Homo-oligomer: A and B are copies of this chain.
Amino acid sequence: MDLFHALTDEERSRSRLDAKITALVLDDVDFVTGSTINELAERAGVSPPTITRFCRRLGCVSFADFKVQLARMTYVGLRYLKPELPTTTVSEVIDDIVVKAQDTLFSLHNQLDHDRLEDAARLLRGAGFIQAVGAGGNSSMIANEIQNRLFRLGCHVQSTNDKAMAVMLAAAATPDTVAIVSSMTGRDVELVRCLDLYRHHNVLTIALTQSGSPVAERASVVIPIDLPEGVNIYRPTSTRYAYLAVIDILANLVAYADRQKSLQYLRRIKEELVSNRDGDDRQLLGD
């Protein structure tokens, strides 16, 4: 268990001072990472050995180790620990959104199932035709992104944000078709129906969704993405960053399976793009 979880673990039995130190650490990471054990002890109102023991309980071998581990997680999730504060100033909004996006990526990194990703990439790579389905705003973006990344690699892919369309696509699927669907809730009634239909037509499916959800249960390969949702209704969900990262990873794995072929397609596309700009070659592939 890493320091992040150890610090936030509600189960951990804490003595009075332990709780006090925990609070201090979470409240001001920057101070703690920069302080000596004496400074920290004084500010916490405890003795230095108490700090050492605190660090050991958290799984660190020493105070120095604790500081390093703490510093390591500063940008990946620590602010998340704090209760959802009302953000009002521009700075607060920026901090909050950026930190949560980073934290989401961090959590994703810890939970990704490598084998399932490889399975999914293998399916995509071998597919004669790929159908990407996602609707409702966030997942539409993901479906479109799948198309955007894969056609560049020479895949034949069609994305749709229309579940009625997906039904028709499934009906038209040939045996070498693979469908990839995205649903953050995994409980979309129509998407579930689509998946049943895909199965009925023997079309293999890949799902990016919450594990254990109805969508997950019906897919051939599931890439589970289980992340806490923010409670701020005004704010778009940071889970999108995780889904986007999964698409990036899949596209990369597909590309790497046949570098020669991928490179050829990418170059061809790039040549067209550059001629449409000012001839500067240092351009991005697709703005």
Contact = CB atoms under 8 A, between A and B. Distances in A.
Interface of A: 33-34, 36, 64-65, 67-69, 71-72, 74-76, 87-88, 90-91, 93-95, 97-98, 101-102, 105-106, 108-109, 112, 114, 117-118, 134-141, 144-145, 148-149, 182-185, 187-190, 229, 233-241, 244-245, 247-249, 251-253, 255-256, 259, 262-263, 266, 270, 273, 276-278, 280, 283-287
B94 A249 contact: yes
Nearest to A263: B233
A93 B240 CA distance: 19
Given A98-B105, A189-B278, 20 more contacts: A64-B67, A67-B68, A68-B71, A71-B72, A72-B74, A87-B256, A90-B117, A94-B114, A98-B106, A98-B108, A101-B241, A135-B287, A137-B286, A138-B284, A141-B141, A149-B236, A185-B287, A234-B255, A240-B244, A244-B244
A244 to B, nearest CB: 7
B98 A284 contact: no
Contacts of A286: 136-138
Contact of A284 (B91, B229, B280): B229
A280 to B, nearest CB: 6
Contacts of A185: 277, 283-284, 287
A234 B138 contact: no
Contact of A187 (B34, B90, B188, B278): B278
A285 B183 CA distance: 12
B118 A277 contact: no
A104 to B, nearest CB: 10
B90 A114 contact: yes
